[in-house]
Amino acid sequence: MTGVDFDLNTDDNLARSRTAAEQWLDQGFTWLSQICAVSIGVILLAIVLLLFYRSLPALQEFGLSFLTTTEWNPVTGRERYGVLPMLYGTLATSTIALLISIPLGVGSAIFLTENFLPRSLRTVLIFGVDLLAAIPSVVYGLWGIFVVIPFMKTVGLWLYLHFGAFPLLSTPPIGPGLLPAGIVLAIMILPIITALSREAFSSFTFGLSSG
């Protein structure tokens, strides 16, 4: 009976064996984690407020036309600034990139999560995806300038010469544009989407994944 009583009270004995210093360390780690979590939101809010504060002079000078016009004239005395082309370019390239990268990224994550490949080969591919996700964006940008744009220009010229009757191919390619930028951005975020989706799918239990 004594042995049984000791086994039933093992957790209480372990809890009482913790020293005051260990309890203070645990409490300190909890507070530190909470501070770090709150700091993320505070930093994001500070960035938004700083951007809004810095943009007030432009909004006060030009009004909402700063966001809705396309004219950009920095000549002294006739200043006119409109950022609509920049906003449109950002939204267009982001949309192109998401339309390309989300289906490919989620599909690749499912392919790497399920048992379609031998474990050794799957491990190599996962390592490669994580490695691509760590490449700086400037490297992708330079690769797009020196590789993607010349390739797109060559292919676009061939399509224009042979299929110029179609509306989307009726103009000659000029090189830099929304499509090459969207493709480069899609390639840049594809490993990140794949890695995040794979981590999410890996957390599923077998019962959830099989229905």
Q: How far apart are CA 203 and CA 197, in angstroms?
A: 10
Contact 158, 69 (CB under 8 A): no
- Residue 117 tokens read as 């490949």
Per-residue pLDDT at 6: 47
Per-residue pLDDT at 171: 67
Residue with tokens 């090459």: 180
- Domain boundary residue, one of 57, 82, 107: 82
- Residue 133: which of 84, 47, 76, 199 has the closest Cα? 199
- Chain CA centroid to CA 11, Å: 44
Per-residue pLDDT at 13: 52
- Domain boundary residue, one of 82, 107, 123: 82
- Looking at the structure, do residues 134 and 181 belong to the same domain, yes or no? yes
* Number of structural domains the chain divides into: 2
- Looking at the structure, do residues 96 and 198 belong to the same domain, yes or no? yes
- Residue 79 tokens read as 């200043």
- Looking at the structure, do residues 49 and 130 belong to the same domain, yes or no? no
- Looking at the structure, do residues 113 and 16 belong to the same domain, yes or no? no
Contact 110, 104 (CB under 8 A): no
- Looking at the structure, do residues 122 and 200 belong to the same domain, yes or no? yes
- Looking at the structure, do residues 4 and 50 belong to the same domain, yes or no? yes
- Domain boundary residue, one of 82, 112, 129: 82
Contact residues for 176 (Cβ-Cβ < 8 A; gap 6+): 149
Range of the domain at 55: 1-82
DSSP 75: -
- Looking at the structure, do residues 72 and 142 belong to the same domain, yes or no? no
Per-residue pLDDT at 4: 47
- Looking at the structure, do residues 114 and 63 belong to the same domain, yes or no? no
Q: Largest Cα–Cα distance in the chain?
A: 96
- Looking at the structure, do residues 29 and 98 belong to the same domain, yes or no? no
The tens place of each residue's pLDDT in the chain, 211 residues long, gives 444 444 545 555 555 567 777 788 888 888 999 999 999 999 999 999 999 899 888 888 877 777 888 888 777 777 777 888 888 888 988 998 999 999 999 998 888 888 787 888 888 888 888 888 888 888 888 888 888 888 888 887 887 788 777 766 666 777 677 778 888 889 889 999 998 888 888 777 555 555 5
- Looking at the structure, do residues 146 and 179 belong to the same domain, yes or no? yes
Q: How far apart are CA 11 and CA 187, in angstroms?
A: 52
